[in-house]
Amino acid sequence: MRILITGATGLVGSEITRLCHEKGISVNYLTTSKSKLEKSETFKGFYWNPGEGKIDEGCLEGVGAIINLAGANVFQPWTSSAKKKILDSRIDSLQLLHRLLKEHTHEVRQLVSASAIGIYPSSPTKMYEEDEQEVAGNFLGEVTRKWEAAADEIKETGIFVSKVRIGIVLAADGGALPQIIKPVKFNLGAALGSGQQWQSWIHISDLARIFLFLIQQGLEGVYNGVAPNPKTNEDLTREVALALDKKLWLPKVPGFALKLAMGDKSNIVLGSQLVSSKKIEDKGFDFHYVNLRKAIRDIMHKKTGN
């Protein structure tokens, strides 16, 4: 079995690749960066440029499933050109894959495409399941809605499509955790806004396992990529402080100051999404990291090697 991964060189893609190799699955990957091209039998790189409609069609050789993660980083400052890049990179990538699958013979049966829990409107109390119809009325809502719609269009080629609404990924080398750790280490850790906003986190290794689970079980449709035990921003920050043997003694960072400093991007840290993992658990997925403390300690242990 061979899987084609777009965005394989990023945070989530690297973990999925590691897991594929552990399970004896070979990976083809599409990269926008020629310097990242490798050509080993189990990790074969192919160049593409979604904005210019360029793709190496050899990427489909021997491939049974595609995992799509590609997209410009959403954590960059949201200037109008960055917003355009964040949206266009995701839509162009899927449209190019769509065209490739339509125009070439292949054996691909399934596409598993990334999405994000930012599709759900911010709410302090509502528990979101995958059948929620309301979409957040902000930039992240617009991006995720159009991203999922572009993935769904690929069904027209006869391939079945699954989407993973990714939560706050906890990992050693990127994502939210290093950003929370940095100030806490210098005794400058503080909850953001009210601190009561829900943060539906997931350990990166469970997230990678969800992508492969959907392929191995042949499951289509939308699945939330979050752990069963969401926490508030204050609890998440406090757990990090505990793991580092530090205390949170500073006042919370006021929401208005974050809005002033970050503009609409403050939705990423101030938005509250309490998201359910029930659907994937009902399909038999078994989380290794249900408990936040265990997840944080595992990641910190891997980082420091202690």
Ligand X SMILES: NC(=O)c1ccc[n+]([C@@H]2O[C@H](COP(=O)([O-])OP(=O)(O)OC[C@H]3O[C@@H](n4cnc5c(N)ncnc54)[C@H](OP(=O)(O)O)[C@@H]3O)[C@@H](O)[C@H]2O)c1
Q: In the complex, which residues of this chain contact ligand X (CB under 6 A)?
A: 7, 9-13, 31-33, 36, 50, 69-74, 89, 93, 114, 116, 166, 168-169, 174-175
36: phi > 0 → left, psi -120 to 50 → alpha, else beta; which?
A: alpha
CB nearer ligand X, residue 163 or residue 238: 163
Shortest distance (Å) from residue 74 CB to ligand X: 5
Shortest distance (Å) from residue 201 CB to ligand X: 9
CB nearer ligand X, residue 64 or residue 178: 178
Nearest residue to ligand X by CB is 10
Q: Distance (Å, rounded) from C-alpha 140 to C-alpha 124?
A: 18
- The separation between the first and the last C-alpha atoms of the chain, rounded to the nearest angstrom, is 36
Both tokens of 258, joined, read 């974050």
Question: What 8-state DSSP symbol labels residue 273?
Answer: -
CB nearer ligand X, residue 76 or residue 187: 76
Shortest distance (Å) from residue 71 CB to ligand X: 3
Contacts of 162 (CB under 8 A, 6+ apart): 110, 111, 112, 113, 214, 219, 220, 221, 222, 223
CB nearer ligand X, residue 246 or residue 272: 272
CB nearer ligand X, residue 117 or residue 191: 117
Shortest distance (Å) from residue 72 CB to ligand X: 4
Both tokens of 152, joined, read 């769904």
Q: What are the counts of helices (DSSP H) followed by strands (DSSP E) for the chain?
A: 10, 15
Shortest distance (Å) from residue 97 CB to ligand X: 11
